[in-house]
């Protein structure tokens, strides 16, 4: 009977690990039963892996097949550092639930492994009894027998026809970049173990991007210099333009006007840094370094990704949360293409959080902590109506501060993501649709994930299985309107590999 090692990547923070324990225990029990049914002997590695050295210490000694269990947010290094450089079969398994961001962690960890050329497979199910899910059991048996799982690839395409007028727009965008490369101001490095989200100058320079890193401590220092009048003016602006602040509500009694003003202080300090360095776009780490020092950055990021904002130039300032360059690169390209097509240039930043079937279509819940711009909620570039600011959950964010949330309006959209594969940048591109759900369904899905965060229900133009099996990120960039042809052409002209996900 062959041994299979089961391990539990975790969050660095103790509370999220505690909250997820019941689901992790149930999922592990289901996985053990499934393995035993296939004649395998499960061996559990004790405890959550909460730091990179724990992955090295706990996992490096195994040459057996290994399965990581993903039921909540975990950091990429808590798997990668223990398995990189080895070739024993590796499987990432999830319970396909939206309660905690386990699927987000699985997708992030998969992309992290891909970026360091470590082979792996993925598996998932939402069945109550995993042994009764034939597809799951067949895939698990395939992995146990061969060390890998083969997934459908019919929705993956390496090319697509591009209209001549779209190619002309792409040529103009690329020419502009060649004349003046795009400068991204990076406030820290990627956060929370997103190995796949950092490209660095060695890769970025090949594709027309430059980065300049600024230590996040500058936000604290520069914030002290922000005049009270600027903060008060910014506060009046967001209130007058329609933001609904949920101050002092139940479980958010410490979220007050002063907390919002502190977030606006951060916003203004970052605006000053962008102006000082003449940056074109922005990556903002925030987590985890600033968590004990400043309120969450989400309200600031939502404003930056909106055309309607304090001290605005009337333009969207592309801001990638968690300093994720895998979203920053496509977001900036999508913005520039949209401007040339006369579309609103706001690009929405989201997690691929969870999904379910509605009216015979699988819809993804795209849900990030607050950096989706206001345009998604009302399609009015001159308003902040539809924006709700709730206190970020205290278990994640001890210093009170608000999100930038709302329900995304229906409409056709283009989505993308950039990632590292084989040492090169690759661009995933697709067409999709943002869907308006009935209130009862919407609320059930929203309450079943994280209600304080912006909500988007979306069809991504391909099957759920294609995303789960092949998508290389926990993040996704979404723009309202069709810029598909232009983005394909722009990516190819810049020298990126393109992968189109389409049924």
* Domain annotation covers residue 478: yes
Same domain assignment for residues 382 and 492 = yes
Same domain assignment for residues 172 and 124 = no
Same domain assignment for residues 496 and 353 = yes
**pLDDT(396) > 90:** no
**Predicted pLDDT of residue 1:** 65
Range of the domain at 30: 3-146
* Domain annotation covers residue 269: yes
* Domain annotation covers residue 386: yes
**Predicted pLDDT of residue 306:** 98
**Predicted pLDDT of residue 199:** 96
Same domain assignment for residues 116 and 205 = no
User: Mean per-residue pLDDT for 291-311?
Assistant: 97
Up-side HSE of residue 483: CA atoms within 13 Å toward CB?
A: 31
- CA–CA separation, 476 and 467 (whole Å): 11
* Domain annotation covers residue 493: yes
User: Mean per-residue pLDDT for 82-108?
Assistant: 95
Same domain assignment for residues 142 and 179 = no
Q: Per-residue DSSP letters for 72-84?
A: S---THHHHHHHT
**pLDDT(164) > 90:** yes
Tens of pLDDT, residue by residue over 68-84, are 999 999 999 999 999 99
* Domain annotation covers residue 461: yes
User: Mean per-residue pLDDT for 166-195?
Assistant: 94
Alpha helices in 245-361 (DSSP H): 257-277, 298-304, 325-341
Same domain assignment for residues 205 and 128 = no
User: Mean per-residue pLDDT for 185-214?
Assistant: 93
What CATH number is attached to the domain comprising 304? 3.20.14.10
Tell the burial category of 42 from Cβ atoms under 10 Å away from its Cβ (0-12, 13-18, 19+). Answer: middle
Which of 102, 119, 146 is a domain's end point? Answer: 146
- Report whether 105 contacts 116 (CB < 8 A): no
**pLDDT(87) > 90:** yes
Same domain assignment for residues 288 and 411 = yes
Which of 115, 146, 177 is a domain's end point? Answer: 146
What CATH number is attached to the domain comprising 79? 3.40.50.10940
Same domain assignment for residues 113 and 169 = no
Buried b (16+ CB within 10 A) or exposed e, 156-188: beeeeebeeebbebbeebbeebeeeebebbbbb
Task: Kindly give the pairing relationship between strand 209-214 and strand 182-187.
Answer: parallel
- CA–CA separation, 237 and 219 (whole Å): 22
* Domain annotation covers residue 159: no
Tens of pLDDT, residue by residue over 128-150, are 999 999 999 999 999 999 999 99
* CA dihedral for 129, 135, 139, 141, sign (positive or negative): positive
Same domain assignment for residues 139 and 205 = no
**pLDDT(440) > 90:** yes
Rounded mean pLDDT of the chain? Answer: 96
Same domain assignment for residues 314 and 360 = yes
- Report whether 491 contacts 429 (CB < 8 A): yes
**Predicted pLDDT of residue 459:** 98
Q: What angle do CA 411, 413, 415 make, to 5 degrees?
A: 150
Question: Binning pLDDT at 50, 70 and 90, where does residue 369 land?
Answer: confident
Question: Binning pLDDT at 50, 70 and 90, where does residue 116 land?
Answer: very high
Which of 146, 177, 201 is a domain's end point? Answer: 146
* Domain annotation covers residue 152: no
**What is the count of structural domains for the chain?**
2
Same domain assignment for residues 185 and 46 = no
- CA–CA separation, 394 and 388 (whole Å): 17
**Predicted pLDDT of residue 16:** 92
Tens of pLDDT, residue by residue over 31-47, are 999 999 999 999 999 99
Question: Binning pLDDT at 50, 70 and 90, where does residue 289 land?
Answer: confident
Same domain assignment for residues 279 and 371 = yes
Tokens representing 156 are: 């993956």
């Amino acid at each position: 009977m062959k041994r299979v090692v089961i391990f539990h990547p975790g969050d660095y923070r103790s509370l999220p690990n505690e909250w997820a324990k019941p689901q992790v225990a149930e999922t592990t029990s289901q996985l053990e039963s499934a393995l035993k049914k296939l004649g395998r002997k499960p061996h559990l590695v004790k405890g959550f892996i909460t730091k990179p050295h724990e992955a090295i210490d706990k996992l490096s000694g195994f040459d057996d097949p290994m399965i990581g269990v993903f039921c909540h947010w975990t950091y990429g290094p808590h798997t990668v550092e223990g398995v990189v450089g080895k070739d024993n079969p590796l499987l990432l398994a999830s319970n396909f639930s939206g309660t905690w961001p386990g699927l987000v962690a699985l997708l992030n960890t998969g992309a992290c492994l891909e970026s360091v050329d470590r082979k792996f497979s993925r598996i998932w199910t939402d069945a109550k009894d995993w042994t009764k899910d034939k597809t799951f059991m067949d895939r698990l048996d395939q992995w146990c027998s061969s060390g890998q799982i083969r997934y459908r690839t019919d929705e993956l395409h390496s090319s697509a026809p591009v209209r001549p007028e779209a190619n002309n727009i792409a040529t103009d965008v690329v020419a502009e970049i060649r004349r003046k490369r795009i400068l991204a101001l990076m406030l820290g490095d990627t956060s929370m173990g997103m190995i796949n989200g950092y490209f660095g100058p060695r890769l970025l320079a090949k594709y027309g991007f430059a980065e300049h890193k600024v230590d996040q401590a500058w936000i604290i220092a520069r914030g002290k210099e922000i005049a009270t009048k600027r903060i008060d003016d910014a506060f009046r602006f967001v209130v007058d333009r329609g933001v609904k602040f949920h101050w002092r509500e139940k479980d958010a009694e410490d979220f007050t006007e002063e907390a919002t003003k502190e977030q606006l202080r951060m916003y203004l300090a970052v605006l000053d840094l962008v102006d000082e360095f003449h940056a074109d776009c922005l990556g903002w780490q925030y987590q985890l370094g600033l968590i004990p020092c400043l309120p969450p950055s989400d309200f600031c990021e939502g404003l930056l990704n909106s055309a309607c904002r304090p001290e605005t130039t009337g333009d969207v300032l592309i801001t990638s949360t968690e300093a994720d360059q895998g979203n920053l690169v496509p977001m900036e390209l999508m913005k520039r293409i949209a401007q040339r097509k006369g579309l609103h240039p706001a690009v929405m930043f989201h997690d691929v959080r969870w999904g379910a079937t509605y009216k015979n279509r699988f819809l993804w819940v795209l849900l990030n902590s607050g950096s989706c711009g206001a345009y998604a909620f009302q399609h009015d570039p001159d308003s902040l109506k539809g924006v709700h600011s709730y206190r970020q959950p205290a278990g994640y964010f001890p210093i009170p501060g608000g999100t930038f949330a709302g329900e995304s309006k229906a409409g056709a959209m283009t989505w993308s993501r950039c990632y590292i594969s084989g040492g090169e940048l690759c661009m995933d591109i697709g067409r999709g649709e943002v869907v308006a759900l009935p209130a009862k369904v919407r609320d059930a899905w929203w309450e079943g994930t994280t209600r304080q965060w912006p909500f988007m229900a979306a069809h991504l133009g391909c099957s759920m299985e294609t995303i789960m099996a092949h998508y290389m990120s926990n993040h996704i960039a979404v723009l309202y309107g069709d810029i598909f042809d232009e983005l394909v052409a722009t990516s190819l002209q810049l020298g990126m590999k393109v992968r189109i996900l389409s049924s």
